[in-house]
Amino acid sequence: KGGGPALNDVIGGQVPVFFGSVASTKQYVDSGKLNALAVTGKKRASSMPSVPTMAEAGVPGYEVYEWNGIFAPAATPAPILIKLSDAISKVMQSPEVRERVLSLGGEPFQGNSEAADKFIKAQMAEWAKLVKTGKIAVD
């Protein structure tokens, strides 16, 4: 099942636990339909400051993030990428957009396209290591 059906199953009592994003679960935590046990980042979520991190909850070394990005084809000319990056950064830094992202449980990215690229590469390396160590294969 995907995240939506799994979330519904936890709320409905068919499944005992669910790993979901702050953005997808915050409204249910706020309404009392879910209990948030921990967040998976290295710091508490600003939209749920009373929820401990996994390390604070007794599971040190557990750091996983759900993130979204805006991507363009690899062959996109550099001037277009720069223009897009500048426009997206400007929008993401606007008070209205930042407040909306925060209200939905998100954490706006602080940085430029180079910082985003560095973050994505680090995430891919971490997940590749996990897949190799866990001998995870796609059926």
Same domain, 111 and 59: no
The whole-chain average pLDDT of the chain stands at: 91
In a domain, 40, yes or no: yes
pLDDT at 67 over 80: yes
pLDDT of residue 69 exceeding 80: yes
Q: Of 11, 42, 67, which closes a domain?
A: 67
Give the CATH number of the domain where residue 54 resides: 3.40.190.10
The answer to whether residue 43 scores a pLDDT higher than 80 is yes
**122 lies in a domain?**
yes
Residues 59 and 107 in one domain: no
Domain that residue 30 falls in: 1-67
Residue 139 lies in a domain: no
Do the domain assignments include residue 138?
no
Tally of domains in the chain: 2
pLDDT surpasses 80 at 128: yes
Q: What does the alpha-carbon distance between residue 101 and residue 15 come to, in Å, rounded to a whole number?
A: 29
- The H or E element containing residue 111 is none
Residue 22 lies in a domain: yes
Nearest to 40 by CA among 23, 59, 68, 15: 59
- The pLDDT score that the predictor gives to residue 33 is 96
Q: What is the pTM of this model?
A: 0.72
36 domain residue, yes or no: yes
Question: What distance in Å separates the CA atoms of residue 93 and residue 80, rounded to the nearest whole number?
Answer: 20
Whether the pLDDT of residue 56 is over 80: the answer is yes
Which phi and psi (to 5°) does residue 53 adopt?
-80, 165
